[in-house]
Amino acid sequence: MYIGQVAKDILKWPRPVSPPVVRLEKRVMAEFGMPSTHAMAATAISFTLLISTINRYQYPFVLGLMMAVVFSTLVCLSRLYTGMHTVLDVLGGVLITATLIAITYPAWPLIDSLHSASPVLPVCVIVVPFLLCYHYPVSDAYTPTRADTTTILAAGAGVTLGLWINHFFQLVAEPAQSLPALRSIPPLTRALVLQGLAKFTVGLLLVLLVRLLVQKLSLQVLFSWFKVVVRNKEARRRLEIEVPYKFVTYTSVGICATTFVPLLHRVLGLL
């Protein structure tokens, strides 16, 4: 996502002209178009999920491939339908993601084990994404890409840090024995659905509460530090305010989702 967002502000290719295209989205009209980060995200999520689960769960590969193709295709087509991207934007996003998957695939096992490998990892996980966001390419006019990029990287940093905390403080019980290489996907029963809905609701409420509290607190501190009027919405767009408050807020959200939500589930007997 960082590569895709930065590429937009470097290439500065405009979105499709309207008319003849009717734009159905308004918030991101100030952004540039190439590549489509929606296409990148959809392709990355669907195909990395397929690749990483095919050797762990028993299901037909063709079915998984069809679901990955359908999901990513529908997202790509939606970007054309809403008038936010050209066909070239979408194809560019898919191609970039396919290249990144091919390049990083050999390192997946190493990346997957890093969260428990070194006590230095938390520092790297916070410092590197923050510096990438703080030194985001400057545009001639304000666009929401920097804010969106900070949100994405901060959430990823929070999730990674939360996983590291779980391992380091042994908050998640380790399995008694190694799991088999292939496992069957459990049947979708009524009890399982209700349990999943309960866990989702509890987790969502806690995440939203943490997001609200941390956002308000971080903005208050930054506004006070830089002597800015609290209700000045334009001040939120300043680099020294926008990046820190969003990074702190969504890092907290990531940590909450991976650490505190499971702990709350255990307390409530939802696991």
Instruction: Give the residue among 223, 257, 214 at the shortest CA–CA distance from 241.
Output: 223
Tokens of residue 212, six digits: 């609200």
Instruction: Report whether 52 contacts 109 (CB < 8 A).
Output: no
Instruction: Report whether 99 contacts 40 (CB < 8 A).
Output: no
Annotated catalytic residue 85: yes
Q: Per DSSP, what are the bridge partners of residue 58?
A: 184
Q: Looking at 85, 135, 167, 265, which residue is catalytic?
A: 85
Give the three-state DSSP class for 183: strand
**What type of residue sits at position 238?**
R
Instruction: Report whether 82 contacts 25 (CB < 8 A).
Output: yes
Instruction: Report whether the peptide linkage leading into residue 180 is cis, meaning its omega lies within 30 degrees of zero.
Output: no
List C-alpha distances in Å: 268 to 104, 163, 214, 243. Answer: 39, 21, 24, 35
Q: Can you tell me the distance from the alpha carbon of 9 to that of 144, in angstroms, rounded to the nearest whole number?
A: 11
**What type of residue sits at position 96?**
I
Q: Can you tell me the distance from the alpha carbon of 48 to that of 34, in angstroms, rounded to the nearest whole number?
A: 22
Q: Return the active site residues.
A: 38, 85
